[in-house]
Amino acid sequence: MWQHKNAFGNGEDFYIRGEGGQRQFKGSIGLRVPDVVWQDFTLSTIASITKAETKAYEGHIYNYYLGLDHKIDDKSTYGIGIEAELSDLKKTHRVNRYFGGLPVYYLYDTSNDRINPYKGWRARIDIAPYMGDFVHHRPMIKASLFSTQYWRLIKKDKFIIATWERVGQVGGIPFSDIPLNRRWYGGGSGSVRGYGYQKLSKPDVFRNPLGGKSIIEGGIEPRWRVTEKIGVSVFFEAGAVSERQVPGLKSKELMCGFGIGGKYYTDIGPIRVDLAFPTKRRKVAGKSYDSPFQFYISLGQAF
């Protein structure tokens, strides 16, 4: 990543970023301009190209976003923008899609730290209507709520219990018409860690994640800071992805995972290592679909 935090002499943040791994790579160019017209209003513009080679789809995604964020106070921020996307993706066959939308979000954050929070809570609501080349010429509406809570049981961050929840849905159009990269998948870091990336949703007959119209997830993670530098945690997470409007929590769609984690605390945040296991390993065509464990390493807490 290359970044200039005073690009034009008035605190403008200009950056060129590349991120990704074996499954996909995303390159983006962005500019954030603070105090546009009014104080505490920030103009953001981002152009990105993503090359994806995931189990669910492969191809290219071209996206442009222009938005305005307003920080109401130390806890509340909202934003509204316009977005345009063109994609060329393949699953069983190649499909070109184009659509535009008006994404809106609201964030409420009372947590004490972005990278290593140990008290407070966060909640973010995202709603985005899209119009484009959908079969029935109706708008697609994607909405989600993501929330985290941090319960401090011993002073500072010696022992806390962290919890998280996510619900999401895509409405307005049938499941078959939802662009592949806009479906819910689940699994991997930031989701139910016992299952691989995009693998929380059920597989199709070709052993590829099918994705879903709706998702519900949640987890709990007790964290113990053993010494100034070393910490450990255990976690349990569960979630379901469905082609229906609401996932079935008593059906085969519900997947659970658990695991253990280790942390090494640095000045910029904890370096985290997690080992996660699924409680249920599915089979497709007589072969195991889910791996016996998942391994993660990253900077910062899981949520």
**279 and 190 fall within a common domain:** yes
Assign 1 a pLDDT band (cuts: 50, 70, 90).
confident
**164 and 280 fall within a common domain:** yes
10 Å Cβ neighbour count for 94? Answer: 11
Phi, psi of 174 (to 5 degrees): -70, 160
Mean pLDDT of 190-199: 95
Burial (CB < 10 A; 0-12, 13-18, 19+), residue 112, is: middle
Phi, psi of 234 (to 5 degrees): -130, 155
| Residues paired with 161 in a beta bridge | 151, 222
Q: How many domains does the chain divide into? A: 2
Please tell me the predicted confidence (pLDDT) of residue 17. 94
Q: Is the pLDDT of residue 46 over 90?
A: yes
**141 and 227 fall within a common domain:** yes
Q: What is the DSSP letter of 203?
A: B
Give the burial string for 212-247 (b: 16+ CB within 10 Å, else e): bbbbbbebebbbbbeeeeebebebbbbbbbbbeeeb
pLDDT in tens, 254-295: 999 999 999 999 988 899 999 999 999 999 988 899 999 999
pLDDT in tens, 114-143: 888 999 999 999 999 999 999 878 999 999
User: Is 76 in contact with 82 (CB distance < 8 Å)?
Assistant: no
On whether the pTM is more than 0.85, the answer is yes
**90 and 218 fall within a common domain:** no
Please tell me the predicted confidence (pLDDT) of residue 221. 98
Pairwise CA distance, residues 172 & 175, whole Å = 9
Pairwise CA distance, residues 33 & 70, whole Å = 12
Last residue of a domain, one of 106, 123, 150: 106
Please tell me the predicted confidence (pLDDT) of residue 136. 79
Pairwise CA distance, residues 161 & 236, whole Å = 12
**44 and 68 fall within a common domain:** yes
> In which domain, by residue range, is 34 found?
1-106
Please tell me the predicted confidence (pLDDT) of residue 198. 95
Last residue of a domain, one of 106, 127, 147: 106
Q: What is the mean pLDDT of the chain?
A: 94
Last residue of a domain, one of 46, 76, 106: 106
Please tell me the predicted confidence (pLDDT) of residue 10. 85
